[in-house]
Amino acid sequence: MVKRQAYQPILITDASRSQDDQLTSRQKRYVLMMGIRVACLVAGAILVGAKAPLLWLWLPLCGIGMALIPWLAVLLANDRPPKEQHRLTNKLHHRPPAATPPTALPAEQSPHKIIDAEP
């Protein structure tokens, strides 16, 4: 009799996020960052209108925010999570790849039972 591998269930926590989930989170991040850009524009206009103290400091900060945030927002919106083989956590906690994917077991066989070869 041939020795079979132990049944190894697939854990849902090992599954990657769905494409729709990833897209939704990227869209939310983009809208949030563009909202911050609008807030920088409004804050700059209010500071100029109110002739706030330290205007020479606040206006360049608002201008930098209005210039850099859209660039970062587009970069982050088009980015995707790293592939599993490129993730840093996988390099730190090395797990050997499974030799073969888990297979379906017949109904009469228990998933926790290992059949050894008879001598």
Inter-residue contact 25 to 79 (CB < 8 Å): no
C-alpha to C-alpha distance for 29 and 21, rounded to whole angstroms: 12
Inter-residue contact 111 to 9 (CB < 8 Å): yes
Full pLDDT tens readout for the chain, 119 residues: 556 666 777 666 767 778 888 889 999 999 999 999 999 999 999 999 998 888 899 899 999 999 999 999 999 888 877 666 655 665 666 555 555 555 555 555 555 555 555 55
Inter-residue contact 114 to 6 (CB < 8 Å): yes
- What is the pLDDT, as a whole number, of residue 115? 53
Helices (H), 51-118: 55-78, 88-92
- What pTM did the predictor assign? 0.57
Distance of CA 94 to the CA centre of its chain: 20
Inter-residue contact 48 to 55 (CB < 8 Å): yes
C-alpha to C-alpha distance for 39 and 48, rounded to whole angstroms: 14
